[in-house]
Structure 1
Amino acid sequence: MQLEKAILATITTNAKKVTAGSSIFICETKEEMEKVAANLEAILDGISHALSDELYIIVKH
């Protein structure tokens, strides 16, 4: 099975911005969030997108 289009992970500093649906990573600082997003992008072979200053998603196109 190969995923073609999906949200693989959500990374945030504000837990109120997300609900269930993908793996959620809650960080304490913006710097930590950016580092986690960059690592997950490489690990999951996806693309990181910043939706706001408090929210990133990793997607597979």
Structure 2
Amino acid sequence: MAKNPDIKAIITTDKDLVINSGVPVFLSKNLEHLQVLCESLERILDASSHEINDETVIIVAR
């Protein structure tokens, strides 16, 4: 049986995607800032990042 992913955070540059999702959502200024946030959250949360599209990345528990 497949296990549901444990999404720890969402990082995006698209302010229209910021909703009350129950998961922390980080709004990035630009794509460079998005990359910095991803790398930091991966280390802090001991998690993996996965690109959803050019403007959105999710951080998932390992």
Smaller-chain TM-score bracket: 0.7 to 0.9
The alignment-based identity, stated in percent, is: 37
The 2-side partners of 1:30 and 1:13 are apart by: 7
Aligned alpha-carbon RMSD (Å): 1.6
Residue number in structure 2 paired with 1:6: 6
Q: CA deviation at 1:12?
A: 0.3
Q: CA deviation at 1:18?
A: 4.1
Residues 13 and 30, structure 2, Cα contact 8 Å, conserved in 1? yes
1:33 correspondence with 2:18: no
Gaps of 5+ in 1: none
- TM superposition score normalised by structure 1: 0.84
Gaps of 5+ in 2: none
Secondary structure of 1:42's counterpart equals helix
- TM superposition score normalised by structure 2: 0.83
Residue number in structure 2 paired with 1:45: 46
Q: What is the aligned length?
A: 58
